[in-house]
């Protein structure tokens, strides 16, 4: 014991002076840290170029040029020359393909997609089109060749004509043509759903006419198409659908929220379904909703709205009175079924394309029933009703907790009460309609056209209604009667006011010498073929009789 004490450097040997062995060994917590710039090459490369998990796509710039315009490339044993640059991850260009020699050239459409993994069965487009053709679909492109070139998967299809996006913007469609396009586009979508795929990017530019038969419509792209199984699993996303990619799903499990990768930008498409705006696409329902918007675009045979006609057409008296009569019919018929429009302006009316003498209402965004108006249930930008949450906030104990009203946007044709959010029904519609009638007669803008203050604009309208006159004595007398009836309208006597207004306007129009054409019409707008068709089919298609009141 004495020798042990010497080794330990103890002068006095006692138990209290000896170093006791610790009961437990403390462990130091090791925190893993990612290697910095001094790490090995692999980690440095991944930090500089992060790997993004995708499905059958390549993370390259969208303006990357694969093939230049006019460059001859070999697709197998035969050359192909594109007429435009092959740029981006996916797309379609027109090309010239030499099948045998220079005397056997064919124009095809070259569909391409950049890819990492190549399937021996071809690209997704090739597989979809092959299944459609196996089902003997009449609305499917024919695949002439498919394969791989560099990092591109491609297919060559028969030549296509204009897409429907160009036709809708630059062609006047009659009713028969519109219904035919609706039928053809439906065939395309239903055939695609039959083989288990969903398109997820339905728009007019997604359809094209065949060059050799322009009565047949086919789908020209399948870039965003997915099977229903993949959609149910939420496997991937594209710019136009609402599915979440695989790497985003895996990022949900990341402990640190800052490590989660953001979703790519959801580009807005006019014909997207409502769920696609929130990345919630679920399959055929979204395709059919987008298709319905296209059908509405085809079948809405509306010509220019009256706002365009007022600004760009010099109206004679007969045309102006005709527009006054037609707009009155629209408003009075709406009041008869118990609704108030609350947004009467020239741009709210349109002419039918197949009959430019008929005016119709083209929107009902702010329309409300009289019961809802009396209860002050809701509001929009252009009417003066109070929303439900504002009524509930009246009971808030602290006034500072009440939510403010939305901005009351000024419209040139607002009624005076609408400037103060006090709209009450048909009276406001008739007052706004009188301003439109005055605009038709005078063809001049109002002094409050550019006014941005509600009080000033309402004051100007009070002065205008009290002093407005028109140069022609007969016109001045009839407009004064119309104003008197408009200002006397209420919720209870709206139909009575409409009864007298209809007779005043009809008597006015009958006393004006009629003309063969209205100011916005020309000789070419009268379709003799349409009249001949109506005459042949009058036994089953009976047009409505012209409206005429007895007085």
What pLDDT sits at residue 202?
Answer: 86
Alpha-carbon torsion angle 147, 153, 157, 162, nearest 10: -170
Q: How far apart are CA 354 and CA 367, in angstroms?
A: 27
What pLDDT sits at residue 232?
Answer: 72
DSSP 51: -
What pLDDT sits at residue 19?
Answer: 57
Taking CA 140 as the corner, what is the angle to CA 135 and CA 146, rounded to the nearest 5 degrees?
95
The CATH number, out of the four listed (3.40.470.10, 3.30.70.2200, 2.60.120.960, 1.10.510.10), of the domain defined by the range 162-299: 1.10.510.10
- Angle of helix 175-194 relative to helix 284-299, nearest 10 degrees, comes to 170
What is the DSSP pairing of strand 197-198 with strand 217-219? unpaired
- Asked if residues 117 and 56 have their Cβ atoms less than 8 Å apart, the reply is yes
Residues in the chain predicted with pLDDT less than 50, given as ranges, are 13, 37, 39, 51-59, 235-261, 301, 377-400, 402, 525
Confidence (pTM)? 0.52
Beta carbons within 10 angstroms of residue 90's beta carbon: 21
Cα–Cα distances (Å) from 128 to 155, 209, 222, 226, 245, in that order, read: 11, 19, 8, 10, 22
- DSSP H or E run through 248: helix 246-251
> DSSP letter string over 133-146?
HHTT-SSSPPEEEE
- Asked if residues 192 and 226 have their Cβ atoms less than 8 Å apart, the reply is no
What pLDDT sits at residue 47?
Answer: 58
H helix and E strand count, the chain: 17, 18
Map out the domains of the chain as residue ranges.
65-158, 162-299, 303-524
- Asked if residues 1 and 13 have their Cβ atoms less than 8 Å apart, the reply is yes
Q: How far apart are CA 324 and CA 344, in angstroms?
A: 13
Q: Half-sphere exposure of 235 toward its Cβ, with a 13 Å CA cutoff?
A: 13
Tokens 């006015």 correspond to what residue?
508
Domains 65-158 and 303-524 share a fold: no
- Asked if residues 515 and 316 have their Cβ atoms less than 8 Å apart, the reply is yes
Cα–Cα distances (Å) from 68 to 77, 155, 223, 259, 493, in that order, read: 20, 18, 22, 39, 72
For the domain 303-524, what is the CATH superfamily, name and number? Transferase(Phosphotransferase) domain 1 (1.10.510.10)
DSSP bridge partners of 79: 74
What pLDDT sits at residue 461?
Answer: 92
Q: What is the pLDDT of residues 366-399, one digit of tens each?
A: 888 877 877 764 444 444 444 444 444 444 444 4
Q: How many residues does the chain have?
A: 551
Measured on CA atoms in the order 110, 113, 117, 121, is the torsion positive or negative? Answer: negative
Q: How far apart are CA 249 and CA 199, in angstroms?
A: 22
**CATH architecture entry for 65-158:** 2-Layer Sandwich (3.30)
Q: How far apart are CA 126 and CA 134, in angstroms?
A: 12
DSSP 91: E
Phi–psi pair at 67, nearest 5 degrees: -135, 130
Q: How far apart are CA 248 and CA 235, in angstroms?
A: 10
Q: What is the mean pLDDT of the chain?
A: 75
Q: What is the pLDDT of residues 301-347, one digit of tens each?
A: 455 678 778 887 888 888 889 888 899 999 998 988 888 888 888 88
Q: How far apart are CA 140 and CA 217, in angstroms?
A: 8
- Asked if residues 67 and 82 have their Cβ atoms less than 8 Å apart, the reply is yes
What pLDDT sits at residue 405?
Answer: 58
């Amino acid at each position: 014991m004495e020798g042990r004490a010497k080794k330990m450097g103890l002068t006095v040997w006692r138990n209290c002076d000896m170093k006791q062995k610790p009961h437990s060994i403390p462990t130091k917590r090791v925190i893993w840290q990612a290697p910095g710039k001094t790490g090995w090459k692999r980690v440095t490369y991944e930090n500089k170029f992060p790997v993004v998990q995708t499905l059958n796509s390549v993370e390259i710039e969208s303006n990357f040029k694969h093939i230049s315009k006019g460059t001859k490339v070999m697709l197998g044993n035969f050359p192909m020359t594109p007429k435009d640059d092959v740029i981006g991850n996916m797309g379609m260009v027109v090309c010239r393909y030499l099948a045998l020699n220079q005397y056997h050239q064919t124009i095809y459409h070259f569909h391409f997609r950049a890819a990492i993994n190549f399937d021996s069965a071809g690209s997704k487009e090739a597989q979809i089109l092959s299944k459609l053709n196996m089902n003997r679909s009449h609305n499917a492109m024919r695949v002439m060749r498919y394969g791989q070139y560099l990092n591109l998967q491609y297919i060559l299809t028969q030549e296509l004509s204009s897409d429907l996006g160009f036709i809708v913007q630059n062609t006047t469609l009659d009713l028969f043509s519109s219904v035919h396009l609706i039928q053809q586009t439906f065939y395309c979508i239903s055939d695609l759903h039959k083989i288990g795929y969903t398109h997820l990017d339905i728009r007019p530019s997604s359809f094209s006419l065949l060059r050799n038969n322009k009565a047949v419509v086919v789908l020209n792209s399948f870039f965003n198409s997915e099977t229903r199984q993949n959609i149910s699993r939420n496997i991937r996303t594209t710019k136009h659908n609402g599915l979440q990619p695989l790497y985003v799903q895996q990022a949900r499990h990341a402990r640190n929220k800052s490590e989660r990768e953001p979703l790519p930008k959801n580009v807005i498409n006019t014909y997207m379904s409502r769920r696609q705006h929130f990345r919630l696409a679920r399959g055929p329902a979204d395709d059919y909703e987008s298709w319905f918007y296209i059908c509405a675009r085809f079948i809405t045979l509306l010509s220019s709205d009256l706002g365009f006609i007022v600004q760009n057409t010099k109206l004679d008296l007969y045309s102006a009175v005709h527009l006054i009569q037609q707009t009155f019919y629209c408003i009075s018929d709406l009041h008869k079924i118990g609704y108030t429009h609350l947004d009467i302006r020239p741009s709210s009316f349109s002419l039918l394309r197949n009959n430019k003498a008929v005016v119709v209402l083209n929107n009902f965004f702010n329309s409300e029933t009289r019961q809802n108006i009396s209860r002050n249930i809701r509001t929009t930008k252009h009417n003066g009703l109070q929303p439900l949450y504002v009524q509930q906030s009246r009971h808030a104990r602290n006034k500072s907790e009440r939510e403010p009203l939305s901005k009351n946007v000024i419209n040139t044709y607002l009624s005076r009460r609408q400037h103060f959010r006090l709209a009450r029904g048909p009276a406001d519609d008739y007052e706004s309609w009188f301003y439109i009638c005055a605009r038709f007669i005078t063809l001049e803008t109002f002094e409050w056209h550019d006014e941005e203050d509600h009080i000033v604009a309402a004051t100007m309208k009070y002065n205008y209604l009290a002093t407005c006159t028109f140069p022609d004595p007969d016109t001045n007398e009839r407009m004064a009667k119309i104003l008197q009836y408009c200002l006397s309208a209420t919720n209870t006597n709206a139909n009575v006011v409409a009864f007298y207004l209809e007779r005043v306007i009809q008597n006015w129009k009958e006393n004006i010498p009629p003309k063969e054409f209205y100011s916005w019409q020309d000789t070419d707008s009268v379709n003799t073929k349409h009249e001949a068709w109506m005459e042949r089919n009058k036994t089953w298609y009976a047009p409505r009789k012209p409206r005429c009141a007895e007085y």
